[in-house]
Structure formats: C-alpha cells, structure tokens
Structure 1
Amino acid sequence: MTSSPIDRAADTFAAELAQWRLDRAMTKKQLAARMGFDPSYISHVEGRRHRPTEDFARRAEAVLGAGGAIWQRYQEYDELRHSRTSTPPRDPPVPEQWMPPGTGLIVEQEVATLAYRDGYYHCTIRRALYNAGTDPVTRYLVRVAVDRYPDDPDRSNRHHREHPLTFVELDLHAFCGTPGHQEPMQWRKKHDRDAFKEVWLLFENADGRFPLYPGQRTSIEYTYRVGQEKWGQWFQRAVRLPTRQLTVRLDFPEAFDPQVWGVETSLSAEDAPLRTPVRRQRVNGRSVLEWSTDAPLLNARYRLEWRFRSGPPTHGGGQVGSPAGSEARPEPRASERMRAIGIVQRGAEMLRQQVQPFELPADEAVALDTVARLRAMLARLDELHPFGKGVGLAAPQIGLPWAAALVRPPEPGAEALVLINPRVVDVAVETDDQYEGCLSYFDVRGLVPRPLRIDVEHSRFDGGRVITSFERAMARLVAHEIDHLEGRLYVDRMAPGTSLVPVEEYRDSGRPWVY
C-alpha cells in the first residue's frame, strides 16, 4: 500500500498517463515509438516500477496532447520530491528536439474564425495561452498556407507560382492581452513562399517587451486576409501544441447557401468524418457554422470544407466551392485581375507609406533585384492589358518598400525607364488635366492636373546622380510613379468635387493623351 505523498503523486502520474494512452487508443508499443522510448519503459512507469522524469513527462504530454494534465501531475510529483531537501538533484537535461514548440506552452482555448466579405476571406485566430514550462516565452510561431485547388496539386502549384501570396495582401496584425487591454505584437518573417508563410509573433512592440513567464496566462489574437482567387474552399486547423479546446467557425453570407462538412486526420489515421456535427445559426443575414472539440490529439488536423450553392464567381470558374467549369465564368473586374497577379490594391497601408531610399552603391544588389522584380511584373501586365498611353509601376505596388519605379513611354517597343531614388527638383508653371488610371485601382479613372514639364533628379546604380527633364505624357507618367514612392495616389491630386469615373463609362481607354 502506498504510504508517502511522493509515492501517491507518482501513482497519480502513472494513472493519468495510462488513462490518456487509452483515451488516444494507443498501445504501449505505439506510445513508446512516438516518444522515443523502449516499450518496456512505458510498462515500468505505468506499473509504478519506474518514477517519471521531466524528459519522460514532456514527451508524454506532447505526444498524447493531454492539454497539460500529464505535465501538471508530473509537477505535483516533482514539487514533493524536491521539498525533501534544500538542494535537490535535478533530472538530466531534456533533449532540445523533444521540447514541444513553445516549450511548455499550452493552448487552453483556440477560436479560429474565417469570414467571407467583399471578395476576401478574413481569418481571425484567438488563443488563450498558459506557460506551463520553466522558461519565459518571447515569441509564437504562426503559419499561413493557401491551396486554391486542394484536389489538384499540380494545378494549385501552377496557380500559386503565377499568383503568389504576399505579405502585403495578408495585412497581418497581432495583439496580446485581453480585450480593452491589448498590446500590439510585432512580427518577423521566418519563411516566405508562394503559398506558405511563416512568421514569429513577438511578445514585444515599440513600447517594450512583455514575455509570458512560467505560470502566467495571456491571450493572443492575429488576423489576416486572402483574396478569394487564392483561397481554396477549406479551412484547416493543425494542433501543434497541447490544446484543451478548439473551436472552428465559418461566417458566410446567408445568400451563398453554404453546404459545409468536415474531416479529421492524424499521424496514425486516414481522413475520417468529424465525430460531432457542425452546428449552424443565422445571424443578421449570415450563416455562422461552428464546430468544437475538447482535448484534440496533438498533431491532429481538423478541416472544414464547403461549397456555395449560390455565391461569388471564382478565379477558376463557376461559384466558389463549385466544381471548376460547372458554370460559365463571368469576366473578372480589372482590379481583380491586377490583384490576382500580385498588384497591391487601394486600401492597403503599403500604398500610403513613404518608401526607403537606396544607399548606393552599398545597396546596389538590392536595387538591381528590385528593378528585376518590377520588370518581371511589367511583363506579366503586358499579357493582361494593352497600355496605349504608356505604363508605370512603382515598388510599393508589388509590395516592396524601396524607392524604385519603372516608366515605359507610349511609343511601341519603347524601353522602360528606370527611376532610382527619384526626386522632383523643378516643375513647369503650365499644367493640363488628363484622365489617369492606376494599377492599384484599375476599375476607375480620374481627371488629374499635372505640370507639362518636370525635372527629376535620380540615381544610377553606382550612386551617381543625374537630372532628367520630362515633358507632357512622360512628365505625367513619371509624376504619377513618384507620387507612389511618396505615399500619394492620384486621387489626392484631383480637384475638389471631381468624381472618379467607372472604367465601363470611360471611353478613351487605350488612346493617347491629347497634347
């Protein structure tokens, strides 16, 4: 019969371990393989012949996804064991590769919401965190992945190569704390691929740092958005940390008549239907569909899929979520075509920020790379639209914060002019008004006054400076792009009371300006 508190705590740990193993339908051999132990060791711990170690407890917690229960039982045992002496012996260090991501971090609750609005999928993730470890947590890893055609990997890969996901369009924001007492979190890129982004959310901002210390709790929230032309009809949550409760919520216009179903997978099982139903409620003209589970298995994946019986046009034809080609494809709007190839659209913060000048010649490699990216985008634009009046493209329009732009004259076959660190140094008094368009909101045109001549100082790649004078059409094109580099748009130049004209009503598109 167990007599001491330490023995009783060890027995409680063993019982907790055995219960979670049975709940996960794992044999001792399977658990041992996942944890990296010999099967006999699992038997010895459950049979009370071996006492648990910190290494063993961490591995068991991570593999079984016990929501912190196994780790809590170990801590109770460990505190009693160490209370006997003032200088207790410590367990051997835990191998670094067996530290769960976020060392000792537990997700007490996750609520993941995906809402469709105005051609975008808006994602909001809220997590209540508890640091059950021994070290402060200073960063949190976040992954964003898109897969436009999940049933056709080759097609999806081609699509995302041609239309890569960008950080600018994601418009990622993160906060830490409770509502009303939230601190913005800075973030840092880890991986940047066409259809996959990974960032560290940092427990810090410009005002200071706020680590999550052992024994403390907090909540984090991060939001991002993805255009419908890049988001497939699925929303998946992968359980990478011990999690006590997971809720997944879809928020769609009721008029789309969404049909939703779900599947779950794990490292040891194929796709299977969710074990509980997705619940639906109607709120203010929207269909809100929600599914929850307690103590999800670590490394499990839960995916909601849908199709809209009646909904918005897709990039690939038909309705979002309908089989490709099931309906005639409506012609996408001009701005949708621009967004699809990676042109930053009006409303993005990037277009209202001043860019960073190059320090030349030190930044020559960066400048050359920026210009190469601009040229590549210009080539893609030529495949979509004829530019009879010439065309310009500034680095912020492709998500780059540098002082670089290309301007191509209207003459057929003309080479694009490269502008590095451009600065207007003189303008003519005479002006004229002409209609302008912008790749960042291509659905409208606006009547804009511009000087008939501008003199621009700009850099060579070797750091030398030159001044070039531009007149009439080229003056207008160059001035438009320099505005982009200074965080201005052509609507800022329009006379008060002047309205934008929808491109459908504008009849001069493609014709040279009249001078």
Structure 2
Amino acid sequence: MTTSPVERAADQFVSALAQWRVERGMTKKQLAARMGFDPSYVSHVEGRRHKPTEDFARRAEAVLVAGGAIWQKFQEYDELRHARGPLLHRDPPVPVQWMPPGTGLIVEQEIAELTYVAGVYRCRIRRDLYNAGIEPVTRYLVKIAVDRYPHDPVGSNQHHRQHPLNFEEMKLTAVAGEGDAAEPMHWRLKLDRDASKEVWLLFANEHGQFPLYPGERTTIDYAYTVGEEKWGQWFQRAVRLPTRNLTVRLNFPVEFEPQVWGLETSLAAEVPVRTPLERHNDNRRAIFEWSTDAPQLNARYRLEWRFRGQSPAATEAGADVNGHSNGHVNGHELRASQRMRGIGIVQRGADLLRQRARHFQLPREEAEAREAVSALRTTLGRLQQLHDFSKGVGLAAPQIGLAVAAAVVRPPERGAEPIVLLNPRIVDQSGETDEQYEGCLSFFDYRGLVERPLRVDVEHARFDGTRMITSFERAMARLIGHEIDHLEGRLYVDRMAPDANLVPVEEYEQAGRPWSY
C-alpha cells in the first residue's frame, strides 16, 4: 500500500522524536512529565494515534535539546498537511532554528576575532543581541576556557595547575551599545578554575542599570588577553543561543607561515567546516576568516592552526636566519619552548606529533629521504647554538613538520657522527631497564622520568633501500627509543608512570650532565 507524503512526513517526525527520547535516556512517561503533558500523550503520538501539534513539537525539541531535528521534521510534516508556504517565512527570524515559546535572547550576529601579538593572544567578541522573550535581560553569561595541549588532556591539566589563568593577565573589558551610547558593563564571577572562567556581564555599571527589554536590540563587545604559554593552537565557538550568523577571524604575523583548518562538532559527528576559510594579507598580517549563516544550536565550531615559520618571540629576541638567539625578550628570559619554536620545531599539542609517520618507498624515494635528513641536520646545527646537549640529542621529521619516517640522533660523545634512521622499528630489546629524566624539543619547558630498556635492536634502512639491524645500548638506546616513539606518534609523557610529575626545567637539577649508569 502506497503512503502519502503527509504520512511519510508524520512517520519521520515520530522516528525523530523516538530516536532523541532514547538518546536522552527517557521513557515516554518521563518525557511527557518534563513536557507538561498527560503521561499517555507521548505514547499516543509515537503510536500515531494522536497528531502532533506545534506546541507538542516545540516542547519536545526544548526538553530533548535535539539541535532543531525534531522541530524541522514537524515543520516538514505541518507544511505538507496544510499545503501552505514554508513555515520558515512566518516563524521567528532565525533560519533553520527551533524557537520554543518565550525564547529569550537571539544572537543576530557574532564576530569573534583572535589576534596574536608579541607572545599574547587578544580575543575580542562582538554579539548583536535581540530580546525575543517576555522578560527584561539584566546579565549575559560569558565562558572563557583555555587548553594548552588539547590533544593531551592529562598534560594540559597539569600545565594549567602550575600556570593557572588569572583575571589580572586577562584584562577583561566589556561594553553594551555602540559609539557615544556605549555603556561599560560591570561583571560578576560565576566560576573560577585553573583553565576556565565564567562571568556574568551585567547590563549595569556605577551609573545604574540598563536592561535589555523585550523587543529591544543591543550590541555587546568584550575582550580579554591570554599569554601563548596558556593558549593552545585552537579557537572554538560554541553555539548556545539561536544564532543567525557566526564569523570567526584569526590574525597572525605573516612570518609565522600559518596553516589553518576548521572542524564542526555536533551530537552526530565531527566534520570539516562546511564553508571555506578565506585568507588575505594586510600589512604583514595573515588574516583568516570563516563564516556560516546557519550555525546549529549546541554545535561547536573550532579553528586550529600550526605555524611553519619563525615566531615573533624569536625575532624579538634577536634570532637571525641561522636561529642564533640571545635568549631574552624585552629584558626577560625567553622560555625554552619559545626558542625551540623560533627555529621551526613543532610544539606539543600539534596533531602532527600524534600521527604515525609515513615510511619511505626506497630506493624510489631516495631524493625525498635525503632532503628530509638534510633538513634534520640543518635544524640540529641550529640547536647546538641554543643549548648544550650533554646527554646527546635527537630530532624526528614530524618535529620539523615532515610526516615521514626519518630521524637523526647525535650521540652524547663530542665529535661522534650522527646516526641516521630511515623507516626504523625496534625488533628486540633487553628485559633490563632503568629510569632517567628525559626532555623533548617539542616540550622543552619540562623534564619527565621515563623507564626504557638498556638495549634496543633496531631494524632500519639505507638510502638504497637495503635494511640492517643495529644494536644500541644505554644512552643511545634511550635516545633512539625516544625518536622512534616520535615516528609512531608517541611522546615520552605517554611512558611516564601515572603518578609521576613533570619537572619544570627551572627546577631540573641534572642539566648539563650526562645520564649516569
């Protein structure tokens, strides 16, 4: 028997309702109670014994927080049932968004801009607000969160415990209105944590209150500052209110050679942003902009980036093209990680450090392999001008932005020839181990205690594709193991004991001395 378009639309509405009810872990009776309906009503709708009403659909959407899915299915059903024009033309003025009765604030436009200058990020948010509710609005909740190493939550939490976000550095400011009519907004603390803050921006100041009444519009504009040592390479906007338009801008120095990409996360999936990022240069600044005219409620839009070039911190410290640095910025000592970043070493938190490197197809890719090794040797040469590596030093290709299986290791003994590793893998290791403190060029502000075998046997390739097995012991076994970990997307912190703590380099007492055996 053929079903009509109206019946199919009704079935799709019922399916969406049931799916989201189960997703939220509610029984029909619980959902009915939350919606304010008779306990049997949801059963009757799901059983197709009652036709859904607009009020029912709005309340179900609001209770189940379905991101507009239930309301959209009702609109499709209702449009076919009444054979009239799209409801979107008559409903509240936010496209493809559900709006329960008495909806409060609507964001008609948000422009979020993040600017990097001289080692700090300045974030500025501008929102055009419309009060579509029935009550005056007297405050607006702002959430500020940082995550230095978003792909390493344990390390990031530890980092922020030691370096908490504070209001003194943030210099939070906010105004409501525009031009001469703009009013400073006072704010009140709601939540204070190491890596996140929540504050109420008040429609009030020392001169009194200026609520946003129903039917009125205003613009709020707030800004704050966070140092690069606390801000990871990402910027996320969460859509918590019905929103017409969202625009995000990133503003970086051109010499950073920034690469930017975007992700959209919803209850259903994480996908690349659906509209392209645009870039233009303006007075030695690289400006990236991304916009969407239909941001989904409860979705998160996240821009991430990496820097391939030299950072301003290194430039201000007097770094030349060979990476030599005097180690100070404006009279302050330059952080070790900043010096590493200044010569092009990828820092912890970058996706590239968590990916398995691609093996070379040798000898067909000999030229590419030699080019990667040459780049590694060049960077190692620059490193020697920045730090005395008494324990030896190694560098893997992902640390200089190359996703290939190559590493170069310089032994602790002065004058020793560096070891070149192509497509390496550990094929055997001793049962005897020891614990030593390790550092990492991609995480050079800290040291961590790591257990490793005292001997490893490594199979690796020559440029002509022939393979060999080399045995390394003690310090070289540790150095080689560390670099092979990099090629497999692993960092030394992954090998630390769960209760072990990282030691800030300022407190590390074994600097300048080789490992002891």
TM-score (norm 2): 0.49
